Amino acid sequence: MKTNRFYWVGLLMISMLIFQACEPDEIITSPLISGLSCSTATISATPMSGVAFSGRATLGYSGGNGIAYTAKDSIASTGVLGLKAHLVAGILSHNDGTITYTIMGTPNSTGKAIFPVSFGGQTCNLEVSVSADTTIPKPSTGSVSRVMAAIDTFRTTLTTEQWMAVQLPYTRPNAINWSIQSGNVSRNGLEFSTMTAPQVIAAKKVIETATGTTADEGYGEFLQINLAEDILAANSEGNYSSKKYNIAFIGTPSQTGTWILQFGGHNYIQHIAFSNGAVVGVTPSFQAVEPRTWLQAGVAYAPLDNEKNSLTSMLAALSATQLISAKLTSAFSEVSMGPGKDGQFPTTKVGIPVSALNASQKALVLAAIKPWTLDADDVTGMAMLNIYEKELDNTYISYSGNATLSQSGDYVRIDGPSVWIEFIVKPGFVNPAEVQYRSVYRDRKRDYGGL
């Protein structure tokens, strides 16, 4: 029995040795390459700091083994953070070729985003340059087309002399010529009082197509502040009237040219700058209202309450310590960057930096900016708000007087790399016992579209 057992065990071992000797060479199933070049990679586009990005990086390799490969988990960037690279599945060539990574995310700064790439037995560091955000708000060309269509209709209602009066040369002196005084003030363009009813309707249609649609903002806010002039006229001997508002074009309106739509009068002015079919500026914008609120034909009007309430919410969210940091030592009787103050922004920011606030407080700062951006057409308004959101950490907020904005002299300022907003409570001119609200919105980089 033992002899037979040894015999069968020996036979089994011989069979296994024969099988292994006859087994073919090992089959390679992993993708392998002999070289990988990150330094010569091509990037489909340049990411910009703070802007959502989606692009592709193409890397060259050598010595491919012809094996298919699958997509890999994402590689997070170092250096500049916020981007991720994802390998796109493919098949290696049997020699030289390329592999592709999709790159997505929002980079948090300028500089180099570095991805440690490992593929096919080779490694290298892929560097992607991130530039500063150079975008400007660009609404759909359809928005500009509607404005141009309304201007064309408006022009058909005018005489040659009226068109010559409303369309002025594209110069800075013309652009900065505006006033928010009442009475017989010399302003650019045509005054509503000099136009026929159909002409005024056509002029207001131009304004409507160029401004926002949000309730109590944009065109609705313009109409309400315009209506307030007649409330003042009915309660005073002053020279107030909703017909003492003007419209002007600084430059020749066109789909491809550079020009500014300017409109307003007492307590209201707006500049909307166009260039090559895009809106490139929506400031300066001045808005004030007296009376602060009123009832007319059963409808309650309070055109600047959204602005005031958003600012008080922003200040109410600050702690006692933060309020001390944000409070200014100076008292104010008027906004400091009104008419005639072009380019005179203070060089030193004061108050508390938004970077020192928590996330919910930052959201309230952005919400406080929003009502002013909503006065432009809806797409441009959101584009401007996005720009200011990216600059939020370098923005400062400050106030003087009371944080409740309930008494004369109460004042708030938002001062960023671009955005500048001031809001003040003042005694009424017609009824000093009641307060009025006055505000100015400017952009350090985009006033008059950069003219």
**Is residue 208 domain-shared with residue 238, that is, in the same domain?**
yes
CB-CB contact of 408 with 425 (8 Å): yes
Q: Are residues 217 and 282 in the same domain?
A: yes
436 and 316 housed in the same domain? yes
Where is the domain boundary, 99, 130, 161?
130
**Residue where a domain stops, chosen among 95, 130, 165:** 130
Question: Could you tell me which residues come within 8 angstroms of residue 152 by beta carbon, excluding any fewer than 6 positions away?
Answer: none
- What's the pLDDT tens digit per position in 139-171? 555 578 889 999 999 999 999 999 999 999 999
How far apart, in Å, are the Cα atoms of 265 and each of 6, 184, 203?
114, 10, 14
Question: Would you call 161 helix, strand, or coil by DSSP?
Answer: helix
124 and 146 fall within a common domain: no
State the CATH number of the domain containing residue 51: 2.60.40
Is 57 a member of any domain? yes
Q: Examine the domain organization and report whether 64 and 172 are in the same domain.
A: no
Residue 427: inside a domain, yes or no? Answer: yes
Q: Are residues 229 and 330 in the same domain?
A: yes
Is 123 in the same domain as 146?
Answer: no
Buried b or exposed e, range 277-297, using 16+ CB within 10 angstroms:
bbbbbbbbbbbbbbbbebeee
Domain membership flag for residue 18: no
Residue 2 in any domain: the answer is no
Burial of residue 408 (CB within 10 Å: 0-12, 13-18, 19+) is: middle
Tokens of 247: 């419209």
- Mean pLDDT score of the chain: 89
For 41, the token pair is 């990679």
Q: In what order do the strands lie in the sheet with 83-87?
A: 35-43, 53-62, 97-105, 83-87, 75-76
Give me the residues of the chain with pLDDT under 70, please: 1-28, 133-142
Q: Is the domain of 94 the same as that of 218?
A: no
What does the radius of gyration of the chain's CA atoms come to, in whole angstroms? 33
Q: Are residues 298 and 416 in the same domain?
A: yes
Burial of 2 by CB count in 10 Å (0-12 exposed, 13-18 middle, 19+ buried)?
exposed
Q: Say yes or no: 74 and 211 in one domain.
A: no
- Alpha-carbon distance of 254 to 259, in angstroms, equals 8
Judge whether 26 lies within some domain: no
Contact between residue 279 and residue 139 where contact means Cβ atoms under 8 Å apart:
yes
Domain annotation covers residue 15: no
pLDDT at 19: 43
262, β-bridge pairs: 248, 271
Q: Are residues 76 and 163 in the same domain?
A: no
Residue 355 lies in a domain: yes
Q: Which pLDDT value is given to residue 52?
A: 72
Structural domain span for residue 84: 35-130
Do both 183 and 75 map to the same domain? no
The structure's pTM equals 0.71
Within a domain: 29: no
Question: 109, 130, 151 — which closes off a domain?
Answer: 130
Task: Say how many domains are in the chain.
Answer: 2
